[in-house]
Amino acid sequence: MWESYQKEIADDNYYFARSCIRQNFFPAAEELFLKIVRQELGKDIYDDARQTSCTGIAYHSGIVPMETTMTVVARQFALMTEAGYENFVCSCVTSFGIYTEMLETWKHFPEKEQETREALKRATGMTFEIPKNLVHCSDLVYKFRKEIAAKTKFRLINKQTGEPLKVVDRIGCHYAKIFPKKGIGGAEFPYVLAGMIDEWGGVQVDYPERRHCCGFGFRQYLLKSNRSYSVSNSKKKFDSMEPYHPDLIIANCPGCTFFLDRWQYVISEMEGKTYGENNYGIPVLTYEELAGLLLGYNPWDIGLQVHQVAVEPLFDKLGIEYKPEEKYLGINGLNLGNPEMPTILKSC
Protein backbone atom coordinates (compact mmCIF):
# COMPACT_ATOMS: atom_id res chain seq x y z
CA MET A 1 0.00 0.00 0.00
CA TRP A 2 2.66 2.53 1.04
CA GLU A 3 4.62 1.78 -2.10
CA SER A 4 2.08 3.77 -4.11
CA TYR A 5 2.97 6.87 -2.07
CA GLN A 6 6.38 7.92 -3.32
CA LYS A 7 7.77 11.35 -3.93
CA GLU A 8 10.46 12.98 -5.96
CA ILE A 9 13.49 13.96 -3.91
CA ALA A 10 16.04 16.09 -5.76
CA ASP A 11 19.51 14.63 -6.07
CA ASP A 12 21.59 17.71 -5.23
CA ASN A 13 21.67 21.52 -4.72
CA TYR A 14 19.35 22.33 -1.85
CA TYR A 15 18.27 25.51 -0.08
CA PHE A 16 18.08 24.70 3.64
CA ALA A 17 15.45 26.13 6.06
CA ARG A 18 15.97 25.85 9.81
CA SER A 19 13.59 24.88 12.61
CA CYS A 20 12.57 27.12 15.54
CA ILE A 21 12.55 24.19 17.97
CA ARG A 22 15.57 22.21 16.81
CA GLN A 23 17.97 25.15 17.04
CA ASN A 24 17.20 25.47 20.74
CA PHE A 25 16.52 21.99 22.05
CA PHE A 26 18.78 19.88 19.79
CA PRO A 27 21.24 22.60 18.84
CA ALA A 28 23.75 20.32 17.11
CA ALA A 29 21.26 18.39 14.99
CA GLU A 30 21.02 20.82 12.07
CA GLU A 31 24.80 21.31 11.87
CA LEU A 32 25.15 17.53 11.89
CA PHE A 33 22.60 17.24 9.08
CA LEU A 34 24.52 19.79 7.00
CA LYS A 35 27.78 17.94 7.71
CA ILE A 36 26.35 14.61 6.61
CA VAL A 37 24.87 16.10 3.42
CA ARG A 38 28.04 17.99 2.52
CA GLN A 39 30.85 15.80 3.78
CA GLU A 40 29.46 12.26 3.79
CA LEU A 41 27.25 12.59 0.69
CA GLY A 42 29.18 15.28 -1.19
CA LYS A 43 26.08 17.36 -1.93
CA ASP A 44 25.60 21.12 -2.13
CA ILE A 45 23.29 22.69 0.44
CA TYR A 46 22.98 26.41 1.14
CA ASP A 47 22.52 27.73 4.69
CA ASP A 48 21.21 31.30 4.31
CA ALA A 49 21.79 33.87 7.09
CA ARG A 50 18.66 35.77 5.96
CA GLN A 51 16.14 32.96 6.45
CA THR A 52 13.67 33.05 9.36
CA SER A 53 10.88 31.07 10.95
CA CYS A 54 7.98 30.12 8.67
CA THR A 55 5.72 31.28 11.58
CA GLY A 56 4.06 27.83 11.62
CA ILE A 57 3.86 27.57 15.41
CA ALA A 58 2.17 30.98 15.61
CA TYR A 59 -0.12 30.07 12.71
CA HIS A 60 -1.28 26.83 14.31
CA SER A 61 -1.72 28.66 17.62
CA GLY A 62 -4.13 31.06 15.91
CA ILE A 63 -2.24 34.28 16.48
CA VAL A 64 -1.19 35.16 12.93
CA PRO A 65 -3.46 35.25 9.86
CA MET A 66 -2.98 32.76 7.05
CA GLU A 67 -1.96 35.62 4.72
CA THR A 68 0.94 36.47 7.04
CA THR A 69 2.28 32.93 7.02
CA MET A 70 1.79 32.76 3.24
CA THR A 71 3.84 35.91 2.75
CA VAL A 72 6.62 34.81 5.11
CA VAL A 73 6.74 31.53 3.18
CA ALA A 74 6.92 33.57 -0.03
CA ARG A 75 9.88 35.51 1.42
CA GLN A 76 11.68 32.24 2.14
CA PHE A 77 11.08 31.18 -1.48
CA ALA A 78 12.32 34.60 -2.63
CA LEU A 79 15.55 34.07 -0.67
CA MET A 80 15.91 30.65 -2.30
CA THR A 81 15.37 32.23 -5.72
CA GLU A 82 17.90 35.01 -5.03
CA ALA A 83 20.47 32.44 -3.92
CA GLY A 84 20.01 30.57 -7.22
CA TYR A 85 18.42 27.40 -5.86
CA GLU A 86 15.27 25.48 -6.88
CA ASN A 87 15.13 22.67 -4.33
CA PHE A 88 13.84 23.61 -0.88
CA VAL A 89 14.56 21.36 2.10
CA CYS A 90 13.21 22.18 5.55
CA SER A 91 14.28 20.96 8.93
CA CYS A 92 10.90 21.14 10.66
CA VAL A 93 7.86 18.95 10.03
CA THR A 94 5.43 21.74 10.95
CA SER A 95 7.23 23.88 8.37
CA PHE A 96 7.02 21.08 5.81
CA GLY A 97 3.25 21.02 6.37
CA ILE A 98 3.10 24.83 6.14
CA TYR A 99 5.10 25.07 2.90
CA THR A 100 3.04 22.26 1.38
CA GLU A 101 -0.24 23.83 2.52
CA MET A 102 0.63 27.20 1.02
CA LEU A 103 1.74 25.68 -2.29
CA GLU A 104 -1.46 23.60 -2.46
CA THR A 105 -3.55 26.67 -1.60
CA TRP A 106 -1.93 28.62 -4.44
CA LYS A 107 -2.71 25.73 -6.79
CA HIS A 108 -6.40 25.68 -5.87
CA PHE A 109 -6.81 29.44 -5.31
CA PRO A 110 -4.48 31.16 -7.82
CA GLU A 111 -5.74 34.55 -6.71
CA LYS A 112 -4.15 33.87 -3.30
CA GLU A 113 -0.76 33.40 -4.94
CA GLN A 114 -1.21 36.67 -6.77
CA GLU A 115 -2.24 38.47 -3.57
CA THR A 116 0.78 36.99 -1.78
CA ARG A 117 3.14 38.10 -4.55
CA GLU A 118 1.75 41.61 -4.31
CA ALA A 119 1.95 41.69 -0.49
CA LEU A 120 5.56 40.46 -0.53
CA LYS A 121 6.49 43.02 -3.17
CA ARG A 122 4.92 45.85 -1.19
CA ALA A 123 6.52 44.73 2.08
CA THR A 124 10.00 43.79 0.89
CA GLY A 125 10.35 44.45 -2.83
CA MET A 126 11.06 40.74 -3.34
CA THR A 127 9.78 38.27 -5.94
CA PHE A 128 9.95 34.51 -5.94
CA GLU A 129 9.84 31.30 -7.94
CA ILE A 130 7.93 28.25 -6.73
CA PRO A 131 10.43 25.54 -5.68
CA LYS A 132 10.80 22.70 -8.17
CA ASN A 133 11.22 20.28 -5.31
CA LEU A 134 10.05 20.60 -1.67
CA VAL A 135 11.17 17.98 0.84
CA HIS A 136 11.84 17.49 4.53
CA CYS A 137 15.38 16.82 5.79
CA SER A 138 14.39 13.28 6.73
CA ASP A 139 13.43 12.69 3.09
CA LEU A 140 17.03 13.40 2.11
CA VAL A 141 18.44 11.05 4.73
CA TYR A 142 15.92 8.43 3.57
CA LYS A 143 16.93 8.91 -0.09
CA PHE A 144 20.59 8.42 0.74
CA ARG A 145 20.12 5.78 3.46
CA LYS A 146 22.03 3.15 1.49
CA GLU A 147 24.96 5.49 0.85
CA ILE A 148 25.03 6.28 4.58
CA ALA A 149 24.80 2.57 5.44
CA ALA A 150 27.85 1.92 3.28
CA LYS A 151 29.88 4.30 5.46
CA THR A 152 28.63 3.36 8.92
CA LYS A 153 30.94 1.90 11.55
CA PHE A 154 28.06 0.47 13.56
CA ARG A 155 24.77 -1.26 12.74
CA LEU A 156 21.53 -1.27 14.70
CA ILE A 157 22.52 -4.61 16.21
CA ASN A 158 22.90 -5.44 19.88
CA LYS A 159 26.60 -6.16 20.17
CA GLN A 160 26.08 -8.55 23.09
CA THR A 161 23.21 -10.63 21.73
CA GLY A 162 23.61 -10.19 17.98
CA GLU A 163 19.91 -9.33 17.77
CA PRO A 164 18.63 -6.33 15.79
CA LEU A 165 17.64 -3.38 17.95
CA LYS A 166 13.92 -2.65 18.27
CA VAL A 167 13.28 0.88 17.06
CA VAL A 168 10.13 2.97 17.38
CA ASP A 169 9.66 5.49 14.59
CA ARG A 170 7.72 8.68 15.25
CA ILE A 171 6.63 10.58 12.18
CA GLY A 172 5.44 14.12 12.87
CA CYS A 173 1.72 14.48 12.15
CA HIS A 174 2.24 17.28 9.64
CA TYR A 175 4.65 15.19 7.55
CA ALA A 176 1.88 13.24 5.82
CA LYS A 177 -1.43 13.44 7.70
CA ILE A 178 -2.37 16.72 5.98
CA PHE A 179 -1.17 15.83 2.49
CA PRO A 180 -0.58 12.05 2.44
CA LYS A 181 0.75 12.05 -1.13
CA LYS A 182 3.59 14.37 -0.09
CA GLY A 183 5.10 11.84 2.32
CA ILE A 184 6.99 8.63 1.59
CA GLY A 185 4.49 5.89 2.37
CA GLY A 186 1.61 8.33 2.94
CA ALA A 187 -0.13 8.82 6.29
CA GLU A 188 -0.98 5.20 7.03
CA PHE A 189 2.38 3.53 6.40
CA PRO A 190 4.99 6.28 6.40
CA TYR A 191 8.30 4.71 5.47
CA VAL A 192 10.62 7.67 5.75
CA LEU A 193 12.11 6.58 9.09
CA ALA A 194 11.19 2.89 8.86
CA GLY A 195 13.32 2.77 5.70
CA MET A 196 16.32 3.94 7.69
CA ILE A 197 15.64 1.40 10.44
CA ASP A 198 15.40 -1.44 7.90
CA GLU A 199 18.50 -0.34 6.00
CA TRP A 200 20.66 0.26 9.05
CA GLY A 201 20.01 -3.15 10.61
CA GLY A 202 17.22 -2.62 13.15
CA VAL A 203 13.63 -3.85 13.34
CA GLN A 204 10.57 -1.63 13.44
CA VAL A 205 8.26 -1.68 16.45
CA ASP A 206 4.67 -1.76 15.26
CA TYR A 207 2.66 -0.82 18.35
CA PRO A 208 -1.03 0.14 18.58
CA GLU A 209 -0.58 3.90 19.06
CA ARG A 210 2.21 4.21 16.49
CA ARG A 211 0.35 6.91 14.53
CA HIS A 212 -1.01 8.80 17.55
CA CYS A 213 0.15 12.41 17.94
CA CYS A 214 2.98 13.09 20.43
CA GLY A 215 0.75 15.75 21.98
CA PHE A 216 2.43 19.00 20.96
CA GLY A 217 -0.93 20.62 20.24
CA PHE A 218 0.74 24.05 19.78
CA ARG A 219 -1.26 26.19 22.26
CA GLN A 220 -1.84 23.06 24.35
CA TYR A 221 1.87 22.70 25.07
CA LEU A 222 2.93 26.33 24.88
CA LEU A 223 0.65 27.34 27.75
CA LYS A 224 1.69 25.90 31.09
CA SER A 225 -1.96 25.64 32.11
CA ASN A 226 -2.79 23.40 29.11
CA ARG A 227 0.27 21.20 29.15
CA SER A 228 -1.45 18.14 30.62
CA TYR A 229 -2.83 17.55 27.10
CA SER A 230 0.69 17.16 25.82
CA VAL A 231 2.06 14.81 28.48
CA SER A 232 -1.14 12.72 28.43
CA ASN A 233 -0.84 12.05 24.70
CA SER A 234 2.83 11.13 24.98
CA LYS A 235 2.03 8.84 27.92
CA LYS A 236 -0.59 7.10 25.81
CA LYS A 237 2.14 6.34 23.30
CA PHE A 238 4.70 5.20 25.90
CA ASP A 239 2.18 2.88 27.57
CA SER A 240 1.34 1.42 24.18
CA MET A 241 4.94 0.84 23.08
CA GLU A 242 6.21 -0.40 26.48
CA PRO A 243 5.26 -4.10 26.03
CA TYR A 244 7.45 -4.22 22.91
CA HIS A 245 10.57 -3.17 24.89
CA PRO A 246 11.96 -0.68 22.37
CA ASP A 247 15.69 0.04 22.50
CA LEU A 248 15.35 3.41 20.82
CA ILE A 249 12.87 5.99 19.51
CA ILE A 250 13.70 8.04 16.42
CA ALA A 251 11.64 10.99 15.24
CA ASN A 252 11.61 13.30 12.23
CA CYS A 253 9.64 16.09 13.90
CA PRO A 254 11.35 18.60 16.20
CA GLY A 255 8.39 18.61 18.58
CA CYS A 256 8.09 14.83 18.76
CA THR A 257 11.81 14.45 19.50
CA PHE A 258 11.59 16.99 22.30
CA PHE A 259 8.35 15.76 23.87
CA LEU A 260 9.18 12.07 23.77
CA ASP A 261 12.46 12.91 25.52
CA ARG A 262 11.21 15.38 28.12
CA TRP A 263 7.86 13.82 28.98
CA GLN A 264 9.67 10.62 30.02
CA TYR A 265 11.44 12.74 32.63
CA VAL A 266 8.17 14.37 33.73
CA ILE A 267 6.29 11.06 33.97
CA SER A 268 9.12 9.65 36.07
CA GLU A 269 8.89 12.62 38.43
CA MET A 270 5.07 12.57 38.56
CA GLU A 271 4.41 8.86 38.78
CA GLY A 272 7.77 7.21 39.44
CA LYS A 273 7.38 5.43 36.13
CA THR A 274 10.24 4.79 33.68
CA TYR A 275 10.02 3.06 30.31
CA GLY A 276 13.56 1.78 29.68
CA GLU A 277 15.53 -0.93 31.48
CA ASN A 278 16.84 -0.43 35.03
CA ASN A 279 15.09 2.90 35.57
CA TYR A 280 16.54 4.43 32.43
CA GLY A 281 14.28 5.93 29.81
CA ILE A 282 14.02 4.95 26.15
CA PRO A 283 16.61 7.08 24.30
CA VAL A 284 15.11 9.46 21.73
CA LEU A 285 17.17 10.56 18.74
CA THR A 286 16.62 12.54 15.59
CA TYR A 287 17.29 10.67 12.33
CA GLU A 288 20.57 12.52 11.73
CA GLU A 289 21.71 11.96 15.32
CA LEU A 290 21.23 8.25 14.70
CA ALA A 291 23.06 8.48 11.37
CA GLY A 292 25.88 10.42 13.06
CA LEU A 293 26.22 7.83 15.82
CA LEU A 294 26.33 4.95 13.34
CA LEU A 295 28.86 6.86 11.23
CA GLY A 296 31.10 6.97 14.30
CA TYR A 297 30.86 10.64 15.32
CA ASN A 298 31.71 11.44 18.94
CA PRO A 299 28.29 11.50 20.68
CA TRP A 300 29.31 14.52 22.74
CA ASP A 301 30.19 16.51 19.61
CA ILE A 302 26.72 15.94 18.14
CA GLY A 303 24.85 17.19 21.19
CA LEU A 304 23.58 14.00 22.79
CA GLN A 305 24.44 15.36 26.25
CA VAL A 306 21.57 17.87 26.03
CA HIS A 307 18.95 15.13 25.89
CA GLN A 308 17.25 14.55 29.23
CA VAL A 309 16.94 10.78 28.73
CA ALA A 310 20.38 9.18 29.01
CA VAL A 311 21.69 7.76 25.72
CA GLU A 312 24.54 5.69 27.18
CA PRO A 313 22.53 2.42 27.39
CA LEU A 314 22.12 2.65 23.62
CA PHE A 315 25.87 3.18 23.11
CA ASP A 316 26.53 0.04 25.15
CA LYS A 317 24.14 -2.00 23.02
CA LEU A 318 25.66 -0.67 19.79
CA GLY A 319 29.20 -1.23 21.05
CA ILE A 320 30.11 2.44 20.76
CA GLU A 321 33.05 3.45 22.91
CA TYR A 322 32.61 6.84 24.52
CA LYS A 323 34.30 8.91 27.20
CA PRO A 324 31.91 9.70 30.06
CA GLU A 325 34.32 12.28 31.42
CA GLU A 326 33.97 14.37 28.23
CA LYS A 327 30.19 14.55 28.33
CA TYR A 328 29.85 17.87 30.09
CA LEU A 329 33.01 19.62 28.96
CA GLY A 330 32.97 22.95 27.14
CA ILE A 331 35.44 24.41 24.67
CA ASN A 332 39.09 23.36 25.21
CA GLY A 333 38.06 20.84 27.81
CA LEU A 334 36.68 23.42 30.24
CA ASN A 335 34.81 21.67 33.06
CA LEU A 336 31.26 23.02 33.18
CA GLY A 337 30.09 20.93 36.12
CA ASN A 338 27.25 18.44 35.82
CA PRO A 339 23.47 18.87 35.57
CA GLU A 340 21.46 17.87 38.59
CA MET A 341 20.12 14.32 38.52
CA PRO A 342 16.41 13.65 38.08
CA THR A 343 14.80 12.02 41.14
CA ILE A 344 13.81 8.75 39.49
CA LEU A 345 14.92 8.68 35.86
CA LYS A 346 18.43 7.28 35.82
CA SER A 347 21.10 9.42 34.22
CA CYS A 348 24.81 8.93 33.63
Distance CA 245, CA 273 (A): 15
**How many C-beta atoms lie closer than 10 Å to residue 126's C-beta?**
16
Binding mask 171-210 for other proteins (x = CB under 8 A): --xx--xx-x------xx----------------------
- The C-alpha R_g of the chain, in whole angstroms, comes to 20
Q: Does 18 bind other proteins (CB under 8 A)?
A: yes
Beta strands in 132-277 (DSSP E): 133-136, 166-170, 203-204, 248-251
Task: Provide the minimum distance between the beta carbon of 159 and other proteins in the complex, in angstroms, as a whole number.
Answer: 27
Q: Which residues does residue 14 pair with via DSSP β-bridges, in sequence order?
A: 45, 87
Which residues 117-176 are close enough to bind other proteins by CB under 8 A? 119-120, 122-124, 173-174
Selected binder of other proteins within 2, 43, 82, 105 (CB under 8 A): 105
Output the smallest distance, CB 276 to other proteins, in A.
Answer: 16
Torsional sign, CA 224, 305, 28, 193: negative
- Smallest gap, in angstroms, from Cβ of residue 158 to other proteins? 26
Cβ proximity to other proteins, 66 vs 163, nearer residue: 66
User: Residue 246, interface with other proteins (CB under 8 A)?
Assistant: no
According to CB under 8 A, which one of 13, 40, 41, 47 is a site residue for other proteins?
47
A 10 A CB-CB count for 339 gives: 12
57 makes contact with other proteins (CB under 8 A): yes
Piece of the chain touching other proteins by CB under 8 A; list 50-58, 128-136, 142-150, 155-163:
50-58
Q: Which residues are within 8 A (CB) of 302 and not within 5 positions of it... i.e. 6 or more apart?
A: 28, 29, 32, 289, 292, 293
User: What CA–CA distance (Å, rounded) separates 78 from 50?
Assistant: 11
Could you tell me how many residues make up the chain?
348
Binding flag, residue 348, other proteins (CB under 8 A) = no
The minimum distance between CB 160 and other proteins, in angstroms, equals 28
Restricting to residues 270-299, which ones interact with other proteins according to CB under 8 A?
A: none
Q: Find the angle CA(263)-CA(265)-CA(267) to the nearest 5 degrees.
A: 65
Cα→Cα distances 333→298, 321, 328, Å: 14, 19, 9
Select 138 or 268, whichever has its Cβ closest to other proteins.
268
Q: Which stretch binds other proteins (CB under 8 A): 7-15, 81-89, 229-237, 243-251?
A: 229-237
Residue number with CB closer to other proteins (35 or 159) = 35
213 near other proteins, rule: CB under 8 A: yes
